[in-house]
């Protein structure tokens, strides 16, 4: 059983690494480094220099919007991203295989493991659609939310295996507050994808140069996203104060507020320091961690109608 728990944890970590890799692909504009799928320039192992390209390589390069030449840097970044995705699929299969003999005892864990494998497969297939659509903005956004969902399913599986699912009582109103906070965070993630779509468009027109000009006009999508981050922080502070009597949640709420503050700091760095590429995947990861932290608290607690009395903690709704 210990080996199963370790494998589930390793798969959870890998799912976050896949999200980071996707962020690196975006920030380096390497999404079309492999312009076909599932192969790369028609080969299972991509070329390391232009001399290794197939004779008909130009038919692959034509689908790219800006760079119509072979870029080994972009090719191998995208290739490693795909390898991580394949590795995650392998981990998901082994995970399901490991839980299968205990499926009667671990019914919920088994169902979550099956769901995770299905979502990994769907995410990979949709990744192929992203390539076919030449990195259309909306397809990238949907792909990100696929990755976000699969990480949360794996988190639920990890908590189930560790015996942390619905372990502590927190009160129906406290859980309701956490659910509202989760919705607010997901809205903020959606607003963030709007900023990313704007940056994709403007950076493309500038041939991915002049990074200082990408947000120079302070587009409305960015202003809304930045303003909404204040609402997210104050919502987290309010919920933290609201559940202050629930000891089990206090540490988790402090951790969440730390993640949110760090995320806001990376957002300021992106805006005021001309979009440094290293900061973009960090900003993406922090947003995913914030969602995961709230999801953890929701999954960790269970309802009780009498734990939190109105005279101790006021009504939220």
**In terms of Cα–Cα distance, which of 122, 153, 137 is closest to 202?**
137
- Asked whether 112 and 67 are in contact (CB, 8 A), the reply is no
DSSP for 54-110, please give it.
Answer: -TTTHHHHTT-SS--S--HHHHHHHHHHHHHHHHHHHHHHHHHHHHGGGTTTTHHHH
pLDDT by residue (tens digit) across 256-289? 999 999 999 999 999 999 888 889 899 999 999 9
| DSSP letter (8 states) at residue 212 | G
pLDDT by residue (tens digit) across 128-171? 777 777 666 677 788 889 999 999 999 999 999 988 888 877 77
Q: How far apart are the first and last CA of the chain?
A: 42
**In terms of Cα–Cα distance, which of 5, 11, 3, 57 is closest to 34?**
57
Token pair for 205: 């027109």
Where do the structural domains in the chain lie, given as residue ranges?
A: 1-163, 166-317
Residue written as token pair 């956490």:
178
CB-count exposure of residue 164 (10 Å: 0-12, 13-18, 19+): middle
- For the cut 70, the answer to whether the pLDDT of residue 250 exceeds it is yes
- Asked whether 54 and 43 are in contact (CB, 8 A), the reply is yes
HSE on the CB side for 74, CA within 13 Å? 20
User: In terms of DSSP bridges, do strands 168-169 and 301-302 run parallel, antiparallel, or are they unpaired?
Assistant: parallel
CB-count exposure of residue 121 (10 Å: 0-12, 13-18, 19+): middle
Q: What is the pTM of this model?
A: 0.87
**In terms of Cα–Cα distance, which of 6, 3, 150, 157 is closest to 88?**
150
Between CA 18 and CA 216 the distance in angstroms is 30
Determine the distance from the C-alpha atom of residue 62 to the mean position of all C-alpha atoms in its chain, rounded to a whole number: 30
pLDDT by residue (tens digit) across 30-78? 877 888 888 888 889 998 888 888 877 777 666 655 555 778 888 999 9
- For the cut 60, the answer to whether the pLDDT of residue 316 exceeds it is no
Q: What is the mean pLDDT of residues 195-216?
A: 84
Phi-psi region of 36 (alpha: psi -120 to 50; beta: other; left: phi over 0): beta
């Amino acid at each position: 059983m210990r080996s199963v728990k370790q494998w589930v944890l390793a798969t959870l970590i890998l799912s976050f690494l896949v999200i980071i890799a996707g962020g690196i692909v975006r920030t380096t504009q390497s999404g079309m480094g492999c312009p076909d799928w599932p192969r790369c320039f028609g080969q299972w192992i991509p070329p390391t220099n232009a001399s290794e390209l197939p004779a008909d390589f130009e038919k692959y390069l034509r689908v790219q919007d800006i760079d119509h030449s072979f870029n080994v840097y972009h090719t191998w970044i995208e290739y490693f991203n795909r390898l991580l995705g394949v590795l995650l699929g392998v981990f998901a299969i082994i995970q399901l295989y490991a839980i299968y003999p205990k499926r009667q005892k671990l019914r919920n864990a088994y169902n979550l493991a099956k769901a995770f494998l299905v979502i990994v497969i769907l995410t990979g297939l949709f990744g192929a659609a992203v390539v076919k659509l030449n990195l259309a903005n909306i397809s990238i956004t949907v792909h990100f939310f696929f990755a976000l969902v699969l990480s949360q399913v794996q988190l639920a599986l990890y908590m189930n295996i560790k015996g942390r699912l619905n372990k502590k009582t927190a009160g129906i109103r406290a859980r309701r507050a956490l659910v509202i906070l989760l919705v607010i965070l997901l809205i903020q993630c959606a607003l963030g994808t709007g900023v990313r779509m704007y940056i994709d468009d403007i950076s493309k027109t500038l041939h991915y140069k002049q990074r200082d000009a990408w947000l120079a006009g302070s587009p409305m999508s960015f202003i809304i996203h930045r303003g909404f981050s204040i609402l997210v922080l104050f919502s987290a502070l309010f919920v933290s104060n609201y559940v202050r009597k629930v000891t089990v949640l206090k540490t988790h709420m402090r951790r969440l507020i730390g993640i949110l503050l760090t995320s806001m700091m990376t957002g300021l760095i992106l805006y005021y320091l001309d979009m440094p590429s290293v900061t973009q995947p960090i900003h993406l990861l922090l947003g995913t961690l914030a969602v995961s932290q709230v999801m953890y608290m929701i999954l960790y607690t269970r309802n009780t109608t009498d734990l939190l009395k109105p005279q101790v903690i006021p009504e939220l709704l």
